[in-house]
Copies of this chain bind each other. A is one copy, B any other.
Amino acid sequence: MTRLWNDPADFADEMIDGFVAANGRYVRRVSGGVARATATPEGQVAFVIGGGSGHYPAFGGLVGPGLAHGAAMGNLFASPSTQQVLSVARAAENGGGVLLSYGNYAGDVLNFDAAQEQLRAAGIPCETVTVTDDVASADKSEIHKRRGIAGDLTVFRTAGAAAERGADLEEVTRLARRANDRTRSFGVAFSGCSLPGAEEPLFEVAPGHMALGLGIHGEPGLGDTEIPTADGLAELLVTRLLEEVPGDVAEVRGARVVPVLNGLGSLKYEEMFVVYRRIARLLDEAGIVAVDPHVGEYCTSFDMAGTSLTLLWLDDELEELWETGVDTPAYRRGSVDTSHLVRVETSDEESEDAIGDADDSSREVARTIAAAFDLWRATIDENVDELGRLDAIAGDGDHGIGMQRGIHAAQAAARDAAERGAGAATTLARAADAWSDRAGGTSGAIWGAILDTIAGHLGDEGVPSPDAIAAGLEAAKTRVAGFGAVVGDKTLVDALNPLAETFAARAADGAGIADAWREAADAATAAAAATADLLPQMGRARAHHEKALGIPDPGAHSLALLAQALLQLTQ
């Protein structure tokens, strides 16, 4: 149970503030998360990790010499936005390029990939290693679909050590991949977790039972069983992982592994030690040498009770890296010479970008766009509970809150830009950035992409034609399709595609914007209604389970609501 918060909506932000206040010797606050308090030595690969909040010490607690250079810290259990990742990477980068690494979840993939693209576009070399250690989350034949859990630590530590020792981006990436290839985890959970302010736990496990392989956000596992003895649990964990020895480990007997027994939040250290006692014996009996055993909390899941065992199967190269000293807020090993590091002076940065030129008619359109966001904000505020309810049928119930967070930020940004004389394209692009930055997660990234793509077709001069808008919608449709969802997946795509297609058809017939939009909005609404009927059939808690998009959510309803709301402007 979570008990302490102020406004739950501010929890993640305030948590980061408090974390930085307590750990100023290690980290500084940057937009989107934290970076080391000391500058990245010139030419060193900047190793940037990240993910949703609620997993402390992942991810901010692992920033410091020998480990990460920065952590993008998203909202609770929600991916950081593309802008957050980008901003942290820029704060950490110092001529050696950037390695991004994170657990393999849909929203994270979306946003880290987008950030990688933007860094590369800006001429900064960037690579990505996703962590896929959870053997319960997909079959051996589909390792790339597996989720990342406490194996984060072994991959991160390997990459951080390689960067610390001066390896270049290609080499750091290779070593991090190698660590991921040789890391396997299996976990169990005894209880769910509750987010700050939530009345109900996000999910539950029957009393006296444990869920095998349950994901750290409640993603489905392999079923329930009665809680065994501590020794019985140790046997279960070791057995599972010995069935999953990485292919390139030549011989189990004589192998050297780093065991990590990770607690999810509410499991006591004492209980973990009792379990580890038996794990140590089982490894020994199998002829496996345990190197630098870890028993503790490395990747938690709020107040969830549960534990996972991770094995990193060492080779000489990985074992040598493992000796590198680490000094971060939550994780310290060996000794670290910090005498050569230079503290970064923090300032009240974030100078405001100047607004580019625009003509009067585009400024008039920009004011209409701002008015549209006013309407949208009111619409989402009215419907936030209903959207949450719909989302809870098949997902984690946070769709309404996520939309609200995004639309509030977007509305403020659009108002601000329009009042400062921005044109239509700039105003909509600013709103898009604000949305994805504040909302985070998958839906934030998608809405940001949609609006940003449309903005690219509006220009900052003149009034956009129906054809330009049609082209923008079509491009947005294509961009969202690139994320992987297709019509019928019960996502926003189900409504976006008919909207774009209907608008384009009417525009091609010579209809004005208002008429074309009315028909397009109706098409979206009809499609969303059809989606709603299917939602209950999708089963619940798949939200974090799917790697790519294709996660059922009420995105189609949100889009239809916004499309209908816009009609008020034409009346």
Q: How many chain A residues touch the partner (CB < 8 A)?
A: 60
In the assembled complex, A105 has its CB within 8 A of some CB on chain B: no
Partner of A303 from the list B25, B266, B273, B295 (CB cut-off 8 Å) is: B266
Q: Is the CB of B56 within 8 A of A22?
A: no
Q: Determine the distance from Cα of A233 to Cα of B3 in the docked complex, in whole angstroms.
A: 11
A268 touches B21 (CB 8 A): no
Q: Indicate which residue in B1, B270, B294, B296 contacts A53 across the interface (CB closer than 8 Å).
A: B270
User: Would B5 and A273 count as touching, CB distance under 8 A?
Assistant: no
A277 in contact (CB, < 8 A): yes
Question: Is there an interface contact between B267 and A22, defined as CB atoms closer than 8 Å?
Answer: no
Q: Which of B18, B233, B261 contacts A277 (CB 8 A)?
A: B18
Asked if A529 lies at the interface with its beta carbon under 8 angstroms from chain B, I say: no
Task: Decide if A4 touches B275 in the complex (CB within 8 Å).
Answer: yes
Given A190-B3, A332-B332: A22 and B305 interface contact (C-beta under 8 Å): no
Question: A18 is contacted by which of B15, B275, B305 (Cβ under 8 Å)?
Answer: B275
Task: Check if A17 is an interface residue, CB within 8 A of chain B.
Answer: yes
A167-175, A223-231, A388-396: which lies at the interface? A223-231
Q: Does the CB pair B270–A302 fall under 8 Å?
A: yes
Copies per assembly: 2
- The A297-326 residues at the B interface (CB cut-off 8 A) are 300, 302-303, 305
A265 at the interface (CB under 8 A from B): yes
The reply on A54 being an interface residue by CB < 8 A is yes
Assess the B268–A18 pair: CB atoms within 8 A: no
Task: Check B302–A18 contact: CB distance below 8 A.
Answer: no
Q: Which residues of B contact A265 (CB under 8 A)?
A: 266, 268
Interface residues of A in 55-74 (CB under 8 A from B): 56-57, 61
CB distance from A346 to the nearest CB of B (A): 15
Residues of chain B within 8 A of A206, CB atoms compared: none
**Cα of A23 to Cα of B277 in the assembled complex, Å:** 11
Give 1 or 0 for each of A1-34: 1 = CB within 8 Å of chain B CB. Answer: 1111110000100111111011101000000000
Complex CA–CA separation, A245 to B187 (angstroms): 46
Chain A 248-281 interface residues, beta-carbon cutoff 8 Å to B: 261, 265-278, 280
**A268 CA / B190 CA spacing, docked (Å):** 17
Q: State A335–B280 Cα separation when bound (angstroms).
A: 29
The reply to whether B268 and A5 contact each other, CB–CB distance below 8 Å, is no
A335 to chain B: closest residue by CB: B335
At the interface, yes or no: A242 with Cβ under 8 Å from chain B?
Answer: no
Could you say which residues of chain B place their CB within 8 Å of the CB of A534? none
Instruction: Tell me if A293 counts as interface (CB < 8 A to partner B).
Output: yes
Query: Is the CB–CB distance between B22 and A295 below 8 Å?
Result: yes
Query: Are B276 and A21 in contact, CB atoms less than 8 angstroms apart?
Result: yes
CB-CB < 8 A to A275: which residues of B?
A: 4, 18
> Do the beta carbons of B305 and A3 come within 8 Å of each other?
yes
A84–B4 CA distance with the chains assembled, in angstroms? 40
Given A229-B6, A335-B336, also A18-B280 (CB < 8 A): yes
A296, closest chain B residue (CB)? B330
Does the CB pair A3–B332 fall under 8 Å?
no
On whether the beta carbons of B335 and A4 are closer than 8 Å, the reply is no
In the complex with contacts A21-B293, A274-B5, A269-B56 CB distance below 8 A: yes
Q: How far is the CB of A212 from chain B (nearest CB, A)?
A: 15
Decide: A5 near B280, CB < 8 A? Known: A22-B273, A269-B57.
no
State the CA gap A302–B2 with chains docked (Å). Answer: 17
Partner of A273, one of B15, B271, B276, B280: B15
Task: Please state if B276 and A22 are interface contacts (CB–CB under 8 Å).
Answer: yes
